[in-house]
Structure 1
Amino acid sequence: MANLIDAMELAKKIPDNSTIGLVGFGGIGQCDKILRSIGENFKETGHPKNLTVFHTAGQSDTTNGIEHIAEEGLIGRIIGGHWGLAPKARKLIQENKVDCYCWPQGQLTHLLRAMANKLPGQISPVGLGTFVDPRIEGGKFNERTKALDDLVQVIHINDEEFLLYPSIPLDYVFIRGTSIDEAGNLTTDEEPLKLEILSAAQAAKAYGGKVIAQVKYVAQKESFHPKQVVVPSYLIDEYVLVEDPAKDHRQTFSEVFSPVFAGDIRTPKESIDAIPLDIRKIIGRRAIKELQKNNVVNLGIGIPGDVIGNIANEEGIGQDIVLTMESGVVGGSSVGKNEFGVARNADAILEHEYLFDYYHGTGIDVTFMGGAEVDEFGNVNVSNFGGRAVGCGGFIDITQTAKKVVFLTTFTADGLKVAIDNGRLQILQEGKVSKFTNHVQQITFSGRYASTHSKNVIYVTERAVFTLTKDGLELTEIAPGIELQKDILDHMKFKPIISKNLKVMDMEIFSDQLLGIANEWNRQVETVNS
């Protein structure tokens, strides 16, 4: 039976040098009351100190989650996947105040299951050829960590290469639910995501660790339907009850609680606002033309998560494809931005780690991903650029196994301004930063690995489209109104292969009219059936 504990009392009980596991996704699902109390106790007493923090996805919405404990001395080591929305934690990493290992998010979720089984680690080819590979950087995410031993190992099974991500015994794991009953059974009714709370709890128990749940409500014993229970009572040691959900148990960055995000009600499609025709929508409109009917699709953070779902809704093809996000969401329309990972009108919300099973094993039909840097070999960097230690999230897991990878990025960054006039693109002000560079600062996507495995890889910008070939990047399309030399080649640090059949992008992409994808797909079906 789980016992009620005050959050500050819990913080005082955590020994120095402990390893704690956190569960959350962006600004969703973190145990803010628990983490806030740990941070406050450290500032008052200097304890607990030198913690190892293990987490899978990002753990902040810029202010909450891991930010509560992102203090020098409190954290000694971080093993995680993403810090894009965690400025204080990222600062600790960038300033070499902590040891830091960055591993793919899906591998981290599956590592919890390996730990639950008391296995030596998670074995996978995911990460080969990227910065996680010990022959490149070993996932060591700052200069301080580069002096340490490798944790990830290359192993061989039946003459094939794999990476071994080692088990990390947990002393504590903090999980979040909606309600706990008097016996200690946990539900997630009002949470927008299920995440990996069961795997995390079982991983902690395998090594004698304690499982602490943060909840909003306490229910009478035996009042839950058994299928409601996500984590059973024998796995939970103690629970913290939240008095102020608006402060310590928000559903998302913008919502304390919305029945839409919990999947309790669906909103009319008409209530989902159309997005304006800007540079991001142009990129999304060209990218969505890579889809085929009945594709199972993944959306990454950034431009993909912000625009692809909306464009699919506008085009009337949402019912003809299956959109997924690595958080476990299947179907619906992505909310995007600081609430990436949540959708309106989802068809299913799966456990975080189980959707990664599909990504790893079957491979998504098409994934739409962002990109910060691209080089002549087709390598892409989204994890560490411009002095920002962001992390890879699920990017490596998904792009390495997807059947088709479509990168969505502006051609330059920092100040780029464009105009759209009568189906033509004009560059009003060029960005100061070239995204197409000689060598990426870090390999998050390996062009060499992709071409060796005959992956279909496309790079879509507002003014140019490239494809990956065995010889490197090939320019295949340019936008109407764009000059090849002045607007493209002069702003690349390398000269791409130029297709002998270089095409002009469809002018309809640069107008407010529909692309007509739904009609085209219907005609294809009629042709097949005739």
Structure 2
Amino acid sequence: MKKNKVISAEEALALVRDGDVVTTTGFVQSCIPEALHAALEVRFMETGAPRDLTLIMTAGAGDSKGLGTGRLHHEGLLRRVIAANFGRMPKVAEAARQNKILGYNLPQGVISQLYRACAAGQPGLFSKVGLKTYVDPRHGGGRVNTLTEDDIVKLVEVEGEEWLFYKATKIDVAFIRGTSADPSGNISVEKEALTLDCLAQAMAARNNGGIVIAQVERIVDDGFLLPKDVRIPGILVDCVVVAEPELHRMNYGVQHDPALAGQIRVPVKGMRKMPLDARKIIARRAAFELPPNGVVNLGVGAPEGISAVANEEGVTPYITLTTEAGAVGGVLASGSSFGSATNADCIIDQNQMFDFYDGGGLDMTCLGMAECDVHGNVNTSSFGGRLNGCGGFINISQNARSVVFAGTFTVGGLSVAIEDGALRILKEGASRKFIQAVEQVTFSGAYAQEREQPVLYVTERCVFQLTAAGLELIEVAPGIDIERDILAHMDFKPIVNAPITMDRRIFVDEPMELLSDLLNLNLCERVSYDEGRNILFLNLEGWHARTKGDIADLRKVLVEACEATGRRVNSIVNHDGFRMSDSLYDDYAEMIEHLCAHHYLTTTRYTTNAFLRVKMQEALSRRGIAPHVFERRDEAHAFLDAAERERGKGRPVASAA
């Protein structure tokens, strides 16, 4: 006979024993099995059992005020916590800081993938995620206090390369969540915003001889759920608990939103517009880094605003926004709904999303920053006496093809005014973000440089770029004085060569025509021709070549401009403020080689950026093109004039670059 697995929360939680390893689902404020957490708390407060549990979880699952896993803070209930985020259970974090419990802070994607390793009976997971950060055993191994001594992360070498091996911890109890369940325990998720790791968690507990407790909002009859609608089969589920509506909210701020659940699609053109403040300035500037037709991840905080800006500017159809929680496409949600998306194209499991991220699938990410130092290291995990945790930050920042860190320049009371297209600091923040050395390395600038990963740091008043020599100030907001408003509020002096002015459109409360920039629709406006002197001028100031498609667009514009003259031309290119992804230098040099062969008499360029000059010279030399890249405009013009004089004398002139 079939067993009816529907029981009360009290009956289900009575199955949890002292010392069990418990895993629970949830992402920030969404998809949390609140009824199960509440029942566990009540049982412990009334009976003193179960005690000494190990809690394993990926993202934070709570409201930071005591709900979700925050309910499990009572002394004696937990003995050890392995989590990516501690910030949403502050009393548990404080217990870890005070050496009252054992604790490990590991990357979210690693924990997510370890569920699968547990389910498959594997000893652990090999990954490069975490190398050169505080998770690396050479820098702490992810331990959050001195009480925690056991190593669960090891540094190993495989075929001459460094890897981290993360030890799997067997799971005894899994708390999961769905929408509907039949009496046999088959679970569907039609009203959930995310699917997360519920299947992998259930399989991990079941295959270890443990129990799986599922929270749902309703029971349906046997045979009602279609096979493809069942996300967790009943063979993995031991108990089903029907939760009261208040304990089964989509998230703490939303009872249910069918657009977030993928049940309907809603118009997004009328979505509320962000006010023009410091947060929007940061989001607007970061949005200029969006790669057309690329896949993007946005972090919590200031980066969330990029989704709204992309929607305002009509860019959303040309990029695919994703979250580590599993949402692909649509307009990313913020606030209590962070992690989900309105009108998503699809929702995949969290561990699958991290497979995609770790493998290099992200074209760009924009993440927050709590601290940044002279070496470009970023800290988001432990600062100011607060154990926050890394979440998915390490997986995402280490593996994205380009990284933008975004946040205000200072924090704690910062007030700004935007007037007449310029920025004015009304009140400086109480705490500095740009310091000599970060408290904990969540992102390694040196490791990024080692892998030639492009990294920007965007604030409301300026933009920095990571270089081999450290942080370089490359852009300054209109109205901002470098000495007074930037250098005076940093603990170190960045490289300052010739920073350009941030795009003034960012500081005017009108559409920026961002789409035209991202699709290079106005690229032809950067080209002009002096017929009398037979000089083609190309102004690339402030332009960013992100992808091979950008180089192809530039090549097309230049070929058309040259062909329109009806003869070979001399060319001068302004590269001040120009940026190009490291992977594109050879493509750029190949374009110049083609133009020299078919359209140019002589070409030269100039930039005050010494690093860019060196990179261009190296790329051009490999192509056999004379590597003359000048520092100043007048030097480039002088070279071109000299070349013309030599040509006028009938002497051969090598195409220069």
Fold-level match, TM-score > 0.5?
yes
1:269 alignment partner, SS class: coil
- The residue number in structure 1 matching 2:76 is 73
- The residue number in structure 2 matching 1:336 is 334
- The residue number in structure 1 matching 2:42 is 40
Tell me: CA distance 1:485–1:525, structure 2 relative to 1, closer, same or farther (3 Å).
Answer: closer
1:515 aligns with 2:483: no
- The residue number in structure 2 matching 1:400 is 398
1:103 aligns with 2:106: yes
- The residue number in structure 1 matching 2:196 is 195
- The residue number in structure 2 matching 1:276 is 275
Tell me: CA distance 1:521–1:389, structure 2 relative to 1, closer, same or farther (3 Å).
Answer: closer
- The residue number in structure 2 matching 1:157 is 158
Q: Distance in 1 between matches of 2:380 and 2:335?
A: 16
1:84 alignment partner, SS class: coil
- The residue number in structure 2 matching 1:435 is 433
TM-score of the two chains, using structure 1 as the length reference: 0.96
Aligned with 1:91 (options 91, 94, 103): 94
Q: Distance in 1 between matches of 2:379 and 2:42?
A: 36
1:235 aligns with 2:236: yes
- Counterparts in 2 of 1:495-514, with a 5 A limit? 495-498=493-496, 500-514=497-511
- Counterparts in 2 of 1:178-193, with a 5 A limit? 178-193=179-194
Deviation at 1:526, TM superposition (A): 9.5
Q: Distance in 1 between matches of 2:522 and 2:24?
A: 47
1:214 alignment partner, SS class: strand
| Worse-matched range after superposition: 471-480 or 276-285 | 471-480
Aligned amino acid, residue 72 of structure 2: I
1:447 aligns with 2:450: no
* Structure 1 residues 461-510: Cα deviation after superposition (integer angstroms, max 9, x where no partner): 01110011112111111111111111111111111111x33111111111
2:138 alignment partner, SS class: coil
- The residue number in structure 2 matching 1:144 is 147
Q: CA RMSD in A?
A: 1.5
Tell me: CA distance 1:525–1:475, structure 2 relative to 1, closer, same or farther (3 Å).
Answer: closer
- The residue number in structure 1 matching 2:22 is 20
Tell me: CA distance 1:436–1:522, structure 2 relative to 1, closer, same or farther (3 Å).
Answer: closer
Deviation at 1:59, TM superposition (A): 1.2
- The residue number in structure 2 matching 1:300 is 299
1:310 alignment partner, SS class: helix
> Unaligned 5+ residue runs, structure 1?
none
| Worse-matched range after superposition: 276-285 or 468-477 | 468-477
Q: Distance in 2 between matches of 1:60 and 1:54?
A: 14
Deviation at 1:518, TM superposition (A): 1.5
Q: Is the 8 A contact 2:470 2:494 kept in 1?
A: yes
* Structure 1 residues 156-175: Cα deviation after superposition (integer angstroms, max 9, x where no partner): 11111111111101111111
Share of identical aligned residues, percent?
Answer: 44
Aligned amino acid, residue 507 of structure 2: F
Tell me: CA distance 1:408–1:229, structure 2 relative to 1, closer, same or farther (3 Å).
Answer: same
| Worse-matched range after superposition: 278-287 or 333-342 | 333-342
Residues matched between the structures, number: 524
Aligned with 1:384 (options 374, 382, 385): 382
Q: Is the 8 A contact 1:420 1:426 kept in 2?
A: yes
Q: Is the 8 A contact 1:59 1:83 kept in 2?
A: no
Q: Is the 8 A contact 2:134 2:142 kept in 1?
A: yes
Deviation at 1:523, TM superposition (A): 4.9
Deviation at 1:77, TM superposition (A): 0.5
Deviation at 1:456, TM superposition (A): 0.3
2:54 alignment partner, SS class: strand
- The residue number in structure 1 matching 2:632 is none
Q: Is the 8 A contact 1:509 1:515 kept in 2?
A: yes
Q: Distance in 2 between matches of 1:447 and 1:526?
A: 32
Q: Distance in 2 between matches of 1:100 and 1:353?
A: 22
Q: Distance in 2 between matches of 1:502 and 1:65?
A: 47
Q: Is the 8 A contact 1:315 1:514 kept in 2?
A: yes
Q: Is the 8 A contact 1:28 1:253 kept in 2?
A: yes
TM-score of the two chains, using structure 2 as the length reference: 0.78
| Worse-matched range after superposition: 60-69 or 193-202 | 60-69
- The residue number in structure 1 matching 2:245 is 245
Aligned amino acid, residue 84 of structure 1: G
Deviation at 1:5, TM superposition (A): 2.3
Q: Distance in 1 between matches of 2:357 and 2:457?
A: 21
Higher Cα radius of gyration: 2
- The residue number in structure 1 matching 2:614 is none
2:228 alignment partner, SS class: helix
Q: Is the 8 A contact 2:290 2:518 kept in 1?
A: no
Q: Distance in 2 between matches of 1:125 and 1:32?
A: 34
Deviation at 1:97, TM superposition (A): 2.2
Q: Is the 8 A contact 1:329 1:348 kept in 2?
A: yes
Q: Comparing both chains, which one has the higher relative contact order based on Cα–Cα distances under 8 Å and sequence gaps of 6 or more?
A: 1
Q: Is the 8 A contact 1:412 1:433 kept in 2?
A: yes
Q: Is the 8 A contact 2:291 2:363 kept in 1?
A: no
1:30 alignment partner, SS class: coil
Q: Distance in 2 between matches of 1:471 and 1:69?
A: 46
- Counterparts in 2 of 1:217-232, with a 5 A limit? 217-232=218-233
* Structure 1 residues 443-466: Cα deviation after superposition (integer angstroms, max 9, x where no partner): 000111101110000000011100
Deviation at 1:293, TM superposition (A): 1.3
2:191 alignment partner, SS class: coil
Deviation at 1:2, TM superposition (A): 5.8
Deviation at 1:271, TM superposition (A): 3.1
1:114 aligns with 2:117: yes
1:257 aligns with 2:260: no
Aligned amino acid, residue 238 of structure 1: C
Q: Distance in 1 between matches of 2:452 and 2:262?
A: 39
Q: Is the 8 A contact 1:11 1:48 kept in 2?
A: no
Tell me: CA distance 1:522–1:166, structure 2 relative to 1, closer, same or farther (3 Å).
Answer: closer
- The residue number in structure 2 matching 1:320 is 318
Q: Distance in 2 between matches of 1:297 and 1:449?
A: 21
Q: Is the 8 A contact 2:300 2:368 kept in 1?
A: yes
2:139 alignment partner, SS class: coil
> Unaligned 5+ residue runs, structure 2?
525-552, 561-657
